[in-house]
Amino acid sequence: MDSILLKTPLTFIGFLLITFLIIYFLWPEALLRFGRWAFPKIIGVQVRYAEHNGYRFCYYSRGKPGLQPSILMLHGYGFDKDSWLININFLPKNIHVVCLDMPGHGETTCLPGENYTTFDQVKRIHQFVECTGLNRKPFHLVGISMGGMVAGVYTAHYPSEVCCLSLLCPTGLNYPKDSDIMKRVKKNRKNHDVSLVPSNIQEGIEMFRLGLYYSCMAPKQLLKGFFVDWLPDNNFFRKCYLDIFSDESLYSLQDNMSKIRVPTQVIWGKDDKMLDVSGAEVLAKGIPHAQIHLLEKCGHFQPVDSPLKTSQLLVDFHTSYTKN
Ligand SMILES: *[C@@H]1O[C@H](CO)[C@@H](O)[C@H](O)[C@H]1NC(C)=O
Ligand SMILES: *[C@@H]1O[C@H](CO)[C@@H](O)[C@H](O)[C@H]1NC(C)=O
């Protein structure tokens, strides 16, 4: 009797483990999709949609607008609203948090013929903010990389809508020191060369790992799964890449930063191999009283390399500037 009881659960666990390993090695994208479906539910995040003239925005939302300002989070190029899931998990539950799929990314509409320069993206984000009523009260705007550039220029254009701004290693600056990858971007962009946009899984994995200090945080199988779902949208990613490094956008944050007057914090990983940490000096000089935080052992994908530290900095900044 005892031995049967003991054996059955063990067999069952063994069966689960083997199934997991088979999926992990043969069908990693399914595992990733399952994680992306389940994790938001576990941490109490809801998927929402908003429409503006037939254009659909998709976003995560947790909590309701309340006394504390809402937080709007803008992800980086090639990612989607999932980028922030780890951070949301560390944010207090009473704060209303919104993570948007940036124009063309994730489940937000991707229109053929749409442009993705900084200002085109700012205009789209503003439509989103208007149609969801997020700007009924000034909100805390957070952006990383491409999303940081858009967040900064947004604040310069709509200063009354933003109460404070967090810029995580943003694009859009003339970095005193260019990373190797930025040197290649600058060389290629003149010829509209998109060879830096991954066109197969191997290139994707190499590019992704460049963003991390702890590359073991992104196991190869999961990255494979990530790029299986990423590569079909390659035409969009090429267009978006060309637009964010176009003449109009390349230094758009730098050109607009003097108009940013709200309290601003800048967070940058010292081991950022995509956008050199020297960009933080540019923002320190250009934005009055900006708080600068440089993170040790942290690359470009801060939410993966330093999830706790970045969340802590965001929360401390939020509470210190939004008390009343
Ligand atoms: C995108 O930019 C091109 C070139 O500047 C322009 O001709 C086109 O009308 C723009 N498309 C949209 C949807 O704004
Ligand atoms: C922001 O920067 C862009 C790109 O340099 C520039 O064309 C634009 O005029 C600036 N926007 C404002 C409102 O100054």
- Residue 242 falls within a domain, yes or no? yes
Confirm whether 4 is domain-assigned.
no
- E strand or H helix that includes residue 307: helix 307-321
194 within some domain: yes
The answer as to whether 22 is a domain residue is no
How far is CA 66 from each of CA 36, 71, 95, 137, rounded to the nearest angstrom?
Answer: 28, 11, 8, 10
Average pLDDT rounded to a whole number, residues 105-115: 95
Query: Is the pLDDT at 255 greater than 90, yes or no?
Result: yes
- Note the pLDDT tens digit of each residue in 196-242: 999 999 999 999 999 999 988 788 888 888 888 889 999 999 999 99
Whether residue 117 has its Cβ less than 6 Å from ligand 1: no
| Cα-to-centroid distance, 244 and ligand 1 (Å) | 14
Structural domain containing residue 61: 43-323
Provide the CATH number for the domain around residue 78.
3.40.50.1820
* pLDDT at 136 > cutoff 90: yes
What's the pLDDT score for residue 30? 78
With a cut of 70, say whether residue 116 has pLDDT above it: yes
Quick check: is 125 in a domain? yes
Quick check: is 14 in a domain? Answer: no
Q: For the residues of 194-256, what is the DSSP string, one character each?
A: -TTS--SHHHHHHHHHHT-SSGGGS-HHHHHHHHHHHGGGHHHHHHHHHHHTSTTTTTHHHHH
* Chain centroid to CA 194: 21
SS3 content of the chain, % helix, strand, coil (to 5): 50, 15, 35
If one counts the domains in the chain, the total is: 1
Residue nearest to atom 12 of ligand 2 (CA): 256
Q: What ligand has the least distance to the C-alpha of 122?
A: 2
What is the CA(114)–ligand 1 centre distance, in A? 7
In a domain, 1, yes or no: no
11 part of a folded domain: no
